[in-house]
Structure 1
Amino acid sequence: MHVRRHRRHRRRLPGLPLKDIIMTRMHNPPHPGAVLADWLDGMDDMTITAFAEHIGVTRATLSRILNGHSSITPDIAIRLEEALGASREMWSGMQMAYDLWVAAQKPRKRIRRLVRPAAKAEEADLA
């Protein structure tokens, strides 16, 4: 009995309801660079060059992000968290939402869903 409970907790995130784990889909989410650009526009004394130097990246790198030509990498997300206070998870989540939306817009062949036979599913749950 103890083993079964242990496995159950490995498959789920204990204490987190599913609704808090699943992100809601946004129609046409903004590139996180556009959000960052809006923030920088509100800072009268902060130039793109000065902010790039502040977070330790080149002006070209920051410019590509602001213009939506480059993604916010985990490293950049950490730098933005340290500089702005908004969490790295927020920046990464915005990038993921944007990337998923872009990928979903591309035409592609539909993939048939695989269904696991009920007997094997029950066996795996009891193991």
Structure 2
Amino acid sequence: MTDAAEALGVSRKTLSAILNGRAGVSPEMAVRLSIAFNTSAESWLNQQSQYELWHAEQHRGELQVKKLVAA
């Protein structure tokens, strides 16, 4: 992991937090990953967004929301 963190220009702690789900992929990290893996930053951010939405959907039933009806 040290080599990967160094290649990305981040600390081992930062990379570890992302890999272990304690931190998300920020726009800056998405750019770093896109450069390192020759991919698009958008693809990394989309994956992060999908992951966060999946987690939010797991708690849908716990949300106290009332449906709105247009007049």
TM-score, L = length of structure 2:
0.87
Which protein has the larger Cα radius of gyration, Structure 1 or Structure 2? 1
Deviation sequence 1:76-109 (CA, Å, 0-9, x none): 0000000101211111001001101111212211
Alignment of 1:3-22 (within 5 A): none
> Which stretches in structure 1 are left out of the alignment for 5+ residues?
1-47, 118-127
Deviates more, 1:104-113 or 1:65-74: 104-113
TM-score, L = length of structure 1:
0.51
Letter in 1 for 2:3: A
Which among 27, 37, 50 is matched to residue 84 of structure 1? 37
Q: 1:112: which partner in 2? A: 67
> Which stretches in structure 2 are left out of the alignment for 5+ residues?
none
Q: Tell me how large the CA RMSD over aligned residues is.
A: 1.2
Give the distance between the partners of 2:44 and 2:66, measured in 1 at CA: 30
Aligned length: 69
Give the distance between the partners of 2:69 and 2:55, measured in 1 at CA: 25
The share of aligned pairs that are identical, in percent, is 39
Runs of 4+ in structure 1 over 4 Å off: none
Bigger relative contact order, structure 1 or 2 (CA pairs below 8 A, ≥6 apart): 1
Q: 1:58: which partner in 2? A: 11
Is the partner of 2:10 in helix, strand or coil? coil
Give the distance between the partners of 1:105 and 1:60, measured in 2 at CA: 28
